[in-house]
Structure 1
Amino acid sequence: MKIHRLFSVPNLARTLSLASVFTFAGMPQVYAATDIQVWHSLNEHNAGVFEKLVKQFNRDQDDVKVTVKAFDTNNAIESALAESAKSKKTPNLVQLDNNRNPDAIAQRHYIQPLYSLLAKYPIKDAKWFVSPDAGFMRDGKGRMLALPYMVEVPVMFYNVSAFKKAGIVPAQPQRSWPGLQDQLVNLANKATRNCPLVTDEPVSINLENLAAVNNQRYVAVETVAVHSNSKGKKAKVKTKVEPAFIFDSVYVKHLSLMISWVRSELMLKPDQEGVAVKRFANNECAVLMSDSSHLGAFRDKNVLDFGVSGLPYYPEVTSKPGNPFVDGAGFWTTSGHSAAEDKATAQFLAWLSQTKNAATWYQNTGYLPLTQQAFNSTDASYYKNLGDWRNLVAVYANPQVLTSRSFNVSNYPQIRAMFHQQLDRALNGQEPAVPTLSAASAEADHLMQAK
């Protein structure tokens, strides 16, 4: 092959070298974006809100690219997370449910507590909304273990049209359990015979927050004796403090009332498969007791005229209702990633915390605000047709009393599942209130001790 002298090998190399200098001298250098992965198990509506925010973040800047992976349930996330940890390919951010023992999650070898990440890459100017003493996703020192992004509270949704049809004025539920019962009878006779009331959260409504809303302790504290025997020495007796579930007469009275409501068809048998929420959204039910995180989806239903109220209480137990426990999930950061990925993760969290983005999340989901700025920037018109929603939210920015602070119990997910089984038996008419609650308390003590 004949090579022209102008493009001989040495000259060609010099030509390419000079070309590269002239080419890049006048052009900005292109850097590859840092990729981070986020896993979540949000419901369909809230997933849409979140993924729209992610797309906006990816458009707003070129340094970080966020990829989202959705799961059906938190259990599915936990299984996938355990497998990814074995291969050291964990996502950068993962949604994990509140297990009432966040320190145990923080101690997993692949988890990086959020306060550790934020020590390197602070989120400036953000004033977190939920009071630290509520204990949500924080350790014993008050340090933030995860971003409290999916914080919800149990509420009473009510169908305004059904209350009007029944002639109830004002068209809203009473806050006392006896008063609500009278209204449900009226609703059953005149408006919603097939579904006066329904819930998909029987443990939250009838056990956990029965205590909190009535300003009672849900988890009692007991002092127990511990005997230690050493060879050749006299046995020593020490004491230690342990949590305990003591379901007193208030619980017995309430569960007996709920059993009677199911028997008389004032309340449908509890459901955890989403049917209760769908029935309320379709105007079939007058009252739904469930998590506030459904609020955004309900607002998108133009045919649904609804309001939001607090859970009922017993006036003979407390003169003023207390605040339910905050619950939900948070975004946990994982360890083992490069410094560039950690910085990119913090950049994404800081963007979610910006007032506009945090307000969009709050206003379109029903989760509590991430920041005080997001709450303050929300116009009064947003709350116009939402009943008492603003007041129910506002109280969580204030210091919480002891009975509304998050409780810390080992193996609580297993305990909660057991409580649900026990309540299901009672509400199906298979067991009276007293033996149901006694069995639940005894089994909870056993599960708390399990390793």
Structure 2
Amino acid sequence: MKRFSLGSGARRPGLTAACLAAAATLAAPAFAATQIPVWVSLNAHNAEVFESLAKAYNRSQSDVQVDVRNFASPEALNQALDAAARDKKLPALAQLGDSHTLEEISQRPYVQPLYALQKSGPLKDIRWFVSSDNAFIHDPKGRLMAFPSMLEIPVMYYNQDAFKKAGLAPAAPQRTWIDLQGQLVSLANRGSRTCPLTSDLPVSINLENLAAVNNQLYASADNGLKAKGLPSFSFDLTYVRHLSLMISWVRAEIMTRPDAGVQSVRRFAQGECAVMMSGSSHIGAFNDQRKLNYAVTGLPYYPEVTKVPGNPFVSGAGLWVMKSAKPVTDAAAGFLGWLAQPEQAGRWYQQTGYLPVTQAAFKDTPAGFYKDLGQWHDLVAVYAGRSAVTGQGFRIHNYPAIRTRFQQILTAALDGQQPAVTALNLASTEGNRIARQR
């Protein structure tokens, strides 16, 4: 077929400007697609999965065009969102972390709750996976405030090759802290000297989920979920014992000092670290590491405190719907409904490590998917059912600032600057002070 350019055609005798205008009118679409800007902050692997889903949705129809923008960090996304609100150029959907202060997000004038869009349309009859009694991105009535696509839990990753090299059988971590210590010593002496254990979630592992996994309350007033009474922190002997143990692990070099950046994740992915405690959202990226023979299990617990370990808190983020013109809101709801369909929801769950969005996504995942993932199936399954009070989540005013302060205090203690009891007394005092600031 001979191909003509507009430039060559314009030089042909008799081809007038009027003819060109008519041709352009005939070639143009009858209407423009509704644009749906979606802002996320995902690691490189998960961003690629999300963008591929968005492209598939764009190919599946012509009425809506989803445009994904991935930010380097949640903080960068929030800053851009504040600026967009001032300029009245908001995206249709934005990934926002609950941060255990749901009201801070829900009271922003430019967001609307997901449940408001569930009364009719593509989101009406979806059976969500995480139980409605879980406080994470659910309001006190159990209604979803955001699309639950980026929910995760902390897990213990382990390099099976490192365990085998150390002669540990079975090649998996012990679930109690003291028994894990013996394994870390063996790992350090037999091949994993530079990094037996690491973590990028110091506050989550050593404070928040130390409570949940040991079936204890993290804060008073049922972790701040009671309507009456302000929650407060009081870190008891269990915390003192645990932090003292962690300080000794850092001093003995069987644990690298936890960091809140990406260094720990990178080191584990490269096979340098034998054990890592981190969020489950790295599973998809780790599955792409051909030389990484890893699996997951639950966080450790203290059998002196609880006979059976509890379940860690759900964390992560959801896709929040921004207030927009009705055509944009309807189009955004349509895209979310498509993401919740079994094929897309299943793909998202299996390729990322986030908790399933829907019950169907979990139920339809083949058993073979879990073959090399250790306890991942069982760790996920419990979140479809009702949670114990100690594991439902927590709501504490100003918690992002509290978590930052807790991290500073933990870092100082793990550096040997303060004994555990002094650090924890300071943490409870500071946490209670910040929680009461207005």
Normalised by the length of structure 1, the TM-score is: 0.89
What secondary structure, in the 3-state scheme, does the structure 1 residue paired with 2:68 have?
Answer: strand
Cα displacement (A) at 1:449: 1.2
Instruction: Tell me the residue number matched to 1:57.
Output: 57
CA shift digits 1:121-164 (9 cap, x unpaired): 34144210001111110111111111111000000000000000
Residue 313 of structure 2 corresponds to residue 325 of structure 1: yes
Q: How many residues align?
A: 414
C-alpha contact (below 8 Å) 2:117/2:123 kept by paired residues: no
The whole-number CA distance in structure 2 between the counterparts of 1:338 and 1:306 is 47
SS in structure 1 of the partner of residue 123 of structure 2: coil
Q: Select which of 260, 264, 270 maps to 1:282.
A: 270
Q: Is the 8 A contact 1:163 1:191 kept in 2?
A: no
Quote the residue 1:164 is aligned against.
164
Q: What corresponds to 1:441 in structure 2?
A: 428
Match of 1:424 in 2: 411
Q: Is the 8 A contact 1:219 1:244 kept in 2?
A: yes
CA–CA separation in structure 1 for the residues paired with 2:333 and 2:45: 25
| Aligned equivalents of 1:406, 1:148: Cα separation in 2 | 15
CA distance in structure 1 between the partners assigned to 2:122 and 2:281 by the alignment: 28
Query: Given the alignment of the two structures, is residue 393 of structure 1 paired with residue 376 of structure 2, yes or no?
Result: no
Q: Which residue of 2 aligns with 1:260?
A: 248
- Report the CA distance between 1:193 and its aligned residue: 0.8
Question: Which residue of the partner structure matches residue 146 of structure 1?
Answer: 146
How does 1:165-244 map onto structure 2 within 5 Å?
165-221=165-221, 241-244=229-232
1:86 and 1:190 mapped to 2: Cα distance? 57
The one-letter code sitting in structure 1 at the alignment partner of 2:410 is L
CA shift for structure 1 position 241: 1.3
Taking the aligned partners of 1:241 and 1:138, their CA distance within structure 2 comes to 20
Indicate the residue corresponding to 1:227 in structure 2.
none
Supply the AA of the counterpart residue of 1:447: I
Indicate the residue corresponding to 1:251 in structure 2: 239
Q: Distance in 2 between matches of 1:29 and 1:99?
A: 44
Alpha-carbon distance between aligned partners in 2 of 1:443 and 1:100, rounded to the nearest angstrom: 17
Q: Which amino acid aligns with 1:271?
A: D
Following superposition, the deviation at residue 272 of structure 1 comes to: 1.6
The whole-number CA distance in structure 2 between the counterparts of 1:134 and 1:367 is 16
Q: 1:28 & 1:289 partners in 2: Cα distance?
A: 54
- Please say if residues 173 and 180 of structure 2, whose CA atoms lie closer than 8 Å, have aligned partners that are also in contact: yes
- Whether the aligned pair in 2 keeps the contact of 1:165 and 1:190 (CA below 8 Å) is yes
Whole-Å separation in 2 of the counterparts to 1:180 and 1:197: 10
Distance 1:115 1:241 in 2: 27
For 1:111 and 1:338, locate their aligned partners in 2 and report how far apart those are by CA, in whole Å: 13
Counterpart Cα distance in 2 of 1:396 and 1:29: 46
| Partner Cα separation in structure 1 for residue 37 and residue 102 of structure 2 | 22
**Alpha-carbon deviation of 1:408?**
0.5
- Once residues 291 and 29 of structure 2 are traced to their aligned partners in structure 1, the CA distance between those partners, rounded to angstroms, is 53
Of all paired residues, the percent bearing the same amino acid is: 54
Partner in structure 1 of residue 44 of structure 2: 44
Q: Name the counterpart of 1:231.
A: none
Residue 29 of structure 1: how far off its partner (Å): 7.7
**Deviation for aligned residue 1:351:** 0.5
Cα deviation, residue 119, structure 1: 2.6
Q: Does 1:413 align with 2:400?
A: yes
**Alpha-carbon offset, residue 78 of structure 1:** 1.0
Aligned equivalents of 2:320, 2:110: Cα separation in 1: 10
Alignment CA distance shift 1:48-1:28 (3 Å): closer
SS of match in other structure, 1:344: helix
Deviates more, 1:157-166 or 1:76-85: 76-85
Normalised TM-score (structure 2): 0.92
Q: Which amino acid aligns with 1:71?
A: F
Q: Give the Cα–Cα distance (whole angstroms) in 2 for the partners of residues 338 and 313 of structure 1.
A: 49
2:269 maps to a residue whose letter is: A
CA–CA separation in structure 2 for the residues paired with 1:210 and 1:87: 43
- Structure 2 counterpart of 1:354: 341
Whole-angstrom CA distance in 1 between matches of 2:194 and 2:353: 27
- Give the AA of the match of 1:435: T
Offset of residue 221 of structure 1: 2.7
Give, as a single letter, the amino acid of the residue that structure 1 aligns with 2:238: V
Deviations 1:225-257 (A, max 9, x none): xxxxxxxxxxxxxxx611001100000000000
Q: Which residue does 1:226 correspond to in 2?
A: none
SS in 1 for 2:278: strand
1:368 alignment partner AA: L
One-letter amino acid of the structure 2 residue matched with residue 356 of structure 1:
E
Q: How far apart are 1:273 and its partner, in Å?
A: 1.7
In 2, distance between residues paired with 1:361 and 1:35?
23
Deviation larger for 377-386 or 117-126: 117-126
Query: For 1:9-36, what per-residue CA distance to the aligned partner results, in whole angstroms no more than 9, with x for missing partners?
Result: xxxxxxx9xx99xx99xx9983321111
Equivalent position of 2:4 in the other structure: none
Q: How far did residue 191 of structure 1 move?
A: 2.0
Partner of 1:66: 66
Q: Distance in 2 between matches of 1:143 and 1:280?
A: 37
Over the aligned positions, Cα root-mean-square deviation in angstroms equals 1.9
The one-letter code of the counterpart of 1:407 is: F
Counterpart of 1:339 in structure 2 is 326
Contact 1:309 1:389 in 2 (8 A): yes
